[in-house]
Structure 1
Amino acid sequence: MPLDHHHQITILKDILSEHQADCCGTVSECEQIERLVKSLLGNEQVHPQVKSILPDIYAYGQNGKYSADLNSHILSHQQQLSNWVNQLT
């Protein structure tokens, strides 16, 4: 059964929250961020305010996936992670 957009946002928020709290993550989490954002961007039921931050979150996931030092990438985005988590609420 596919996840609805509310569940997708919850999962996305959980991953971003964990990155913020732990200052570490995995390439597979970055790939999951990309997949979730792509799906949410294509869903017309997603609130425009949420859609407005999704491209930045996608770029974060994509850059993290290709980063030579993922933990440093996450650490350098702590403020954005906090902002995104708050806006996804």
Structure 2
Amino acid sequence: MPLNHHDQVNLLKDILTNHQTDCCGSVSECEQLERLVKSLMVNNNLDSNVKPILQEIYNYSQNGKYSADLDEHILSNQTNLSSWVDDIGQFS
């Protein structure tokens, strides 16, 4: 069953929040973030102001996926994670 826009945004926020609170994550979570962002980027109902944020999240997930130390990557992005969760919450 495909996820609707609202479900995708909630899942995106959940993964980012987990990364923020746990300061750790997995490559599969980074891959899931990429898939969610790609799906949301092609959604015409999405507020255009959120697209730059989604691009930042996509870059974060790409860098995390290929990072030698994913936990350190997540730790170094704590401020971004907090900001993204707050920003996405305003547009969901």
Common topology (TM > 0.5): yes
Q: What is the distance in 2 between the residues matched to 1:5 and 1:15?
A: 16
Q: What is the distance in 2 between the residues matched to 1:51 and 1:6?
A: 15
* Map of 2:6 onto structure 1: 6
**1:9 corresponds to which letter in structure 2?**
V
TM-score by length of 2: 0.94
**1:53 corresponds to which letter in structure 2?**
I
**1:78 corresponds to which letter in structure 2?**
Q
Output aligned runs, 1:1-89, within 5 Å.
1-89=1-89
**1:30 corresponds to which letter in structure 2?**
C
Q: Over aligned residues, Cα RMSD in angstroms?
A: 0.6
Please list every run of 5 or more consecutive structure 1 residues that lacks an aligned counterpart in the other structure.
none
- The CA deviation string for residues 31-71 of structure 1, in whole angstroms up to 9 with x for no partner, is 00000000000110111122221000000001000000000
Q: How many residues align?
A: 89
Kindly report structure 1 stretches of 4+ aligned residues shifted beyond 6 Å: none
Please list every run of 5 or more consecutive structure 2 residues that lacks an aligned counterpart in the other structure.
none
**1:70 corresponds to which letter in structure 2?**
L
